[in-house]
Structure 1
Amino acid sequence: MEENLKTMKAWQLHAFGLENLTLDNVDIPAPKHNEILIKVGAVSLNFRDKAIVDGIYTPDKIQFPVIPVSDTSGTVVAIGSGVNRFKIGDRVTSHLYSHWIDGKPADNEQEFSLGSPLSGGLAEYMILEEGSTVFSPSSLNDEEASTLPIAALTPWYSMVTCGNLKTGETVVLQGTGGVSIFGLQIAHALGAKTILTTSDDEKGQKAKDLGADEIVNYKQTPDWATEVLNLTNGIGADQILDIAGGEGLNDSVRAAKVGGQVSVIGFLQGQNTNLDLMNVIFKRTRVQGIAVGHLKAFEEMNKAFDKYNIKPVIEKIYSFEEAIEAYQHLAKGAFGKIVIKIS
C-alpha cells in the first residue's frame, strides 16, 4: 500500500433503505494487534446484505454509518503486531462469523459478524482479524473466492459438516440462488444424487448442466414434495436444503426420508411457520437451523474446491461504482452469484 495514501472510497449505509447507501471518502483503518489490512479485490452479495439494507435483519444491531457486505476477498497489504499467520501479498477471504472458529457457536456470535454490526468489505480496504481469515483457494480468483463465505460454506456446513453426506445419498435443493447452486455443485462433486426445484425451465436446464439429476418445476408441479417421494421410490431425500422457509417447511419435512435432515437456511417466504409436529415426530426428522458455518469447515471446504475444481457460478460482475445496480439485481434474483469488483 502506498505510504502516503490515507483515505479510501467506501460505500456506507447511513439509514435503512437503498437510497441511504452512498459512496463516501473515509480514512483507511490501520491494523491493530492480530489484525490485517487487505486491499479488497471483490465482494459478493447475499440475501443477508439486502435484508440488512431493508432493515429486516437484526436491525437493532446496526450502528450507522456502516460499511456493508460480509463476503470479501483480497490481498494483505499491511499487518498489525502479533500477526504471524499471514504476510503481505497473501490472498485471503473473509469469514462472516469472525469469532466462530470451530465447534458450537457462542450465544453472541452475531455480534462479531462482518457487514453488520462489524464493518464490511464494500470499500477499497478492509480490516480483518488474523484468526478469523482464510487463505483463498489457489484455483479461484478474487471475484470467485468472494462468493464462498456464505453461499458456499452454508451448504457445505449443512450437508458435510452436520449431515455427513455420503456418496449415493439424495439431496433436494430449492431454487437457483447462490446457496442452492453451490449446494448442487458440492453434492454432485461428492457423488450424491441431486433434485433441484425451480419455477423456470431454462434455469432448470442450466442446473442440469451443472450436474442436477432431476428438476422439479414447482409451478407446474406445486406438490413438489410428493414428486420428490416419487423420484426416490417413496423413500424421500436424505437431506433437504430449505431456502424458502415459511409454510413450505412442511413440504420439506414431507419430502425427507424417515430420519432425514432438513437444514433450515433461508426465509424467502417468511420467518414464521405453522409446522406439523406430528409429521416431524413420526418421521423422526432432524430439523437443523443453519447460520453459515465455522472457520474450520471453511478451510476444509476450500481444500475440496481445489481438489474437485469447483468453480463458482457468477451471473454478473459489477464495478465498484455500480454497487446500487448490483443490489437492485440481487432483489430481482440471480442464477448463482452477483459480484462487485473493487480493484
Structure 2
Amino acid sequence: MKAVWLRPPGNLEALRMEDMADPGDPGPGAIRVRLHASSLNFHDLLVVSGRMAPATPLGEGRIPMSDGAGMVEAVGDGVTEFAVGDAVISLIFPQWQDGGAAVASFSGTPGDGLDGYAREAVIAPATWFTQAPRGYSHAEAATVVVAGLTAWRALVVDGGLKPGDVVLTLGTGGVSIFALQLAKAMGARVIVTSSSDAKLERARALGADHTINYRTTEQWAGAVLELTEGRGADHVMEIGGPGTLSQSMEACRIGGRIAMIGILTGAKGEVRTGLLIGRQQRLQGLLAGSRKHQQDLVRALDGLSLRPVIDRTFPLEQTADAFRYEMSGQHFGKICLEI
C-alpha cells in the first residue's frame, strides 16, 4: 500500500510517498480501517516542517497526520462497537479515553510520537476510533478529530456555552470556523477577527454577527468592547498566543473565559497577570479532548445541520504542497488530504 513518510532530517522536502507492506488482518480488540481522508492541523505543520521535533525520536522516519477518516474493513475478535462498513474517525490522544485532562505531551499522538494516518490502511485498537458523524464525507469527518473537538471542548465541555453568550474567535482557520459554526448553532453571538476583508465576508455568510479587520483596526479589543456595550466577550478562542493574548484579555468580560489554543505568534511572551487577576478571567490551555468528548461531539453533529468548511483538498501524493498552502495563510477553514 501507499504511505507518506517524513524521513530525516524531518522537513517538507523530506516527505516521501512510498510503498509499504499491507498491515494484514486485525487481531483481538483491533480494527482495520481503509483510510480515505485526513485534514491538516497547525501541530502537523510544526512536525513536518521541522519547527517542532517529534515527541519520540524520528529515527528512520514517521508517517505524519493525526487526523484519519475512513471505513472499517475488518474487525478483530471481541470488537462489538464497530462493524464492517462503518465510517470512523481517529483520535488525536488515543490513550485519553474519558475523564479530565490526561495528557501533557504528544508521545502517544499519531503523526507525532507514533505513525499517523497519511496512508491507505491501518490496523489499530478499536478504542483509537469513534463513529464519524452521519452523512459527512470522509474529508468532512476528518476535520472533527482536532479542529471540531477543540472548539467543542473550549466552548461546550469546559466553557458551558449558553444561548446569548458572546464568542470571540481570532482568525478564520479550522478551529475558529468550527467555533463560529458551533456557537451559532447553539444560539450564541459571534465576533470574528481577520486581516482579510474577503475572509470576514465569508464569516458573515456563515452567521458571524460582527467582524473586525485587525489590520485596519489595530486596537480590536476596543472594538469588541464597543460591540458588546463595554461588557466584553464571554468566551475567547485565543489562537495567536503571546502576540494577541493581551488584547484578548482586554476584550474578554470580567469573569470570562479565554481558551489558549494556538501559538501562531510564538511560544513565549509576557502575560499581563495584573489584568488577568483584576478582570478575574479564566485562562485555560487546551489540547483537543478525550474519546468521550469526541463521541459527545459526534452525537451533537448528528443532530445539527452543520457542515465543516473545507477550503481545498489535495491528493495524498501532494502532502508537501498542502502544507505549503497552509503556510501561505490563504485558507479559510480546513485543508484536507484525499487518500
2:242–2:271: 8 Å Cα contact kept in structure 1?
A: no
DSSP-derived class of the 1:131 partner:
helix
- Between stretches 65-74 and 53-62, larger displacement belongs to 53-62
Q: In the TM superposition, what are the counterparts of 1:27-176 in structure 2 within 5 Å?
A: 27-30=21-24, 31-64=26-59, 65-107=61-103, 110-176=106-172
1:62–1:116: 8 Å Cα contact kept in structure 2?
A: no
301, 304, 308: which one aligns with 1:305: 301
1:100–1:109: 8 Å Cα contact kept in structure 2?
A: no
Name the counterpart of 1:336. 333
1:79–1:87: 8 Å Cα contact kept in structure 2?
A: yes
TM-aligned CA deviation for residue 109 of structure 1: 5.5
TM-aligned CA deviation for residue 107 of structure 1: 4.5
185, 192, 195: which one aligns with 2:188: 192
Q: What is the rounded CA distance, in whole Å, between the counterparts of 1:49 and 1:211 in structure 2?
A: 29
Q: In the TM superposition, what are the counterparts of 1:162-241 in structure 2 within 5 Å?
A: 162-241=158-237
18, 24, 28: which one aligns with 2:12: 18
**CA-to-partner distance for each residue in 1:200-231, whole Å, 9 max, x for gaps?**
01110000000100000000100011111111
Name the counterpart of 1:4. none
Name the counterpart of 1:5. none
Q: What is the rounded CA distance, in whole Å, between the counterparts of 1:266 and 1:48 in structure 2?
A: 9
2:55–2:112: 8 Å Cα contact kept in structure 1?
A: no
The answer on 1:294 being equivalent to 2:290 is yes
TM-score, normalisation: structure 2:
0.96
Tell me the amino acid that sits aligned with residue 259 of structure 2. Answer: S
1:94–1:128: 8 Å Cα contact kept in structure 2?
A: no
- Between stretches 77-86 and 249-258, larger displacement belongs to 77-86
DSSP-derived class of the 1:27 partner:
coil
259, 265, 268: which one aligns with 1:263: 259
Aligned CA distance change for structure 1 residues 197 and 284 (closer, same or farther; 3 Å): same
Q: What is the rounded CA distance, in whole Å, between the counterparts of 1:137 and 1:53 in structure 2?
A: 28
Unpaired runs of 5+ in structure 1? 1-7
DSSP-derived class of the 1:168 partner:
coil
Q: What is the rounded CA distance, in whole Å, between the counterparts of 2:129 and 2:105 in structure 1?
A: 16
Q: What is the rounded CA distance, in whole Å, between the counterparts of 1:104 and 1:311 in structure 2?
A: 28
1:159–1:165: 8 Å Cα contact kept in structure 2?
A: yes
Query: Runs in 1 of length 4+ with deviation above 6 angstroms?
Result: none
TM-aligned CA deviation for residue 27 of structure 1: 1.1
TM-score, normalisation: structure 1:
0.95
**CA-to-partner distance for each residue in 1:289-321, whole Å, 9 max, x for gaps?**
110111111111112222111101011111222
DSSP-derived class of the 2:274 partner:
helix
**Aligned sequence identity (%):** 37
